[in-house]
Amino acid sequence: AVSHNPASNLKIGAGVAPIPELIARGVRVALGTDGAISGNDLDMWKALRYAAIIHNGRLESPTAILPRQAFAMATLAGADALGLGGELGSLEPGKAADFILVRTDGVHSAPLFDPCDHLVYAAAKSDVTDVFIGGDHIVKDGALTKADLQEILVQVRGLQPKIAAAIAQSDLGTKY
């Protein structure tokens, strides 16, 4: 399997991976955001949209990557790449109940003809209202239910000097 990280690849000038060609050869392609050093916001919605459109532009074909292909990269193909396709990645009996609720009442959502097309081309991370992991309601109406976001941010900010020092000692600080 291959992890396709279109937003971070574009940011660092790494080009566009030949994803339609890999899919045509039977390679399983999952979608990712790469690390914070090259992807910054780790936005899967941006990665999903980029995966669906950059290949259409590169190959001058509106069907190089279809919305359903991009959506599958972000869901079941990701689970398969991790060896967890039998446990998650799709809503099926016996699999983990991992899913999100997405608002569709914004101006950018109108008109909404095809839900998959909408998720790929129009939805954004700010549209996600609720997150369920293993059936547990982790985010409700945009707020964490099982953790304190401010406490997490304090811990993350406390780690920043250590992370910055590690980057300074590597070639990552000058490479990107």
Q: What is the CATH number of domain 2-145?
A: 3.20.20.140
Residue 40 pLDDT greater than 90, yes or no: no
Tokens of 21: 């060609």
**What predicted TM-score, i.e. pTM, was given to this entire model?**
0.83
Residue 39 pLDDT greater than 70, yes or no: no
Span 75-96, pLDDT tens digits: 999 999 999 999 999 999 999 9
Residue 171 pLDDT greater than 80, yes or no: no
- The domain limits of the chain are 2-145
Residue 173 pLDDT greater than 80, yes or no: no
d(CA 68, CA 52): 9
Quick one: pLDDT at residue 172? 62
Quick one: pLDDT at residue 104? 94
Quick one: pLDDT at residue 75? 96
Long-range residue pairs from 47-50, CB within 8 A, at least 24 positions apart, any chain: 47/4, 47/5, 47/6, 47/7, 47/74, 48/73, 48/74, 48/119, 48/120, 49/120, 49/121, 50/6, 50/7, 50/10
Residue 120 pLDDT greater than 60, yes or no: yes
Where residue 169 falls among pLDDT bands split at 50, 70, 90?
confident
Quick one: pLDDT at residue 38? 72
Residue 133 pLDDT greater than 80, yes or no: yes
d(CA 72, CA 63): 15
Residue 11 has, within 13 A of its CA and on its CB side, a CA count of: 19
Least confident of 48-52, 55-59, 92-96, 164-168: 164-168
Quick one: pLDDT at residue 11? 86
DSSP string spanning 56-93? Answer: HHHTT-TTSS-HHHHHHHHTHHHHHHTT-TTTSSS--T
